[in-house]
Amino acid sequence: MATDEPRKPTARRRASRASQPSVGGLLYAAELERSQLAKFIHDDVLQTLGTALMAADTAEQASRRGRSDMLPDQLARQRTLLEDTATALRSLMAELRPYEPGPGGLRAALSSIFGAYQERTGATVTWSLAGEVALGGLGELLAYRTALELLPASHDRSNATNVELTIGVDAGIIRIDATLTPAAPAGAAVRRLAPARVSVLRWRVQALGGSLEQTDAPGSTRIQVEAPIPS
C-alpha cells in the first residue's frame, strides 16, 4: 500500500550522515593550516634569518675596522643560526610532504617521521599500530596526518617532549591516543602543542564527524582522537 509519509531514518542512515565530511569545516581547517604555516615562517624561519644577517653585518663591520678578534664568534653565531634555520625548514618540508605509502605501508611511514622527530629533538616516541589492514587508503592518510600533527612542532632540544601514541581501528572508527611528557629532568614543564596546531586538528576531525579531547595534567598532556574512516 503506497503512502506519502516520509521514511524515518534508520540508525545506519543517521550514522552515515554523521560521518559525512563537512565541507565548511574542511575549508576552515585548510585556512587555519595556511595561517599556522605563515606564522611559523615569520616567527621561526624569517626571524632567525634576520638575526643571522645582523651577525653577518657585525662581522663585516669588524673586518673593516681591523677587529679580526671579533670574527670567530660572529661567524660561529652565523653558523648556528643558519643550522637552526635549515633544521626548521627540513621539519616544515617533512610536514608538508604528502603521504605516499611505500612498500612498508603506513607502519614504515610512521617509523620514518617518528625517527626524524627523535633525531631532531633527542626525545623518545613509543607507538603501536593495530588494525592497519582495515584502514584503507584514506584511513591511512588520516592516521598519518593526525599522528604527524600530534608531534610538537619544535626542534629545540631544551623543550623536547616524549610522545606515547597508540593507533587502532574498531568498526570503521580510527582511535588515536597520545600522551605528551617532558623529556627534560623531573619537574620540567611539558611543552604543549600550540593552540593553533590543536585547532587545525580539531576542525579537521570534527569536519569528518569525529571528536578530539585534550586533557592537561601536571607534567603531561593527553589527546584522544576518534574519527570515522573516510569513504
Hey, what's the cell of 52?
A: 643571522
Q: Are 199 and 150 in contact (CB under 8 A)?
A: no
pLDDT of res. 29: 63
pLDDT of res. 18: 46
Which of 174, 152, 176 is CA-nearest to residue 163?
152
Going residue by residue through the chain, which has 231 residues, state the pLDDT in tens, using 9 for 90 and above. Answer: 444 444 444 444 444 444 455 666 666 666 766 776 777 777 777 888 888 888 888 888 888 888 888 888 888 888 888 887 777 777 677 667 778 877 888 899 999 889 988 887 888 999 999 887 778 888 888 888 888 888 875 545 556 788 899 999 888 899 999 998 887 655 555 555 556 567 778 887 888 888 999 998 888 889 999 998 877
pLDDT of res. 154: 52
- In angstroms, the CA 147 to CA 114 distance is 9
Hey, what's the cell of 106?
A: 603506513
Quote the pTM value: 0.65
pLDDT of res. 187: 54
Q: What is the DSSP string of 152-203?
A: -S---GGG-EEEEEEEEEETTEEEEEEEEEESSSTTPPP-PPPHHHHHHHHH
pLDDT of res. 17: 47
Interior angle at CA 174, CA 27 and CA 22, nearest 5: 25
Please report, to the nearest 10 degrees, the dihedral formed by the alpha carbons of residues 101, 103, 104, 109 taken in order. Answer: -30
pLDDT of res. 9: 43
pLDDT of res. 186: 55
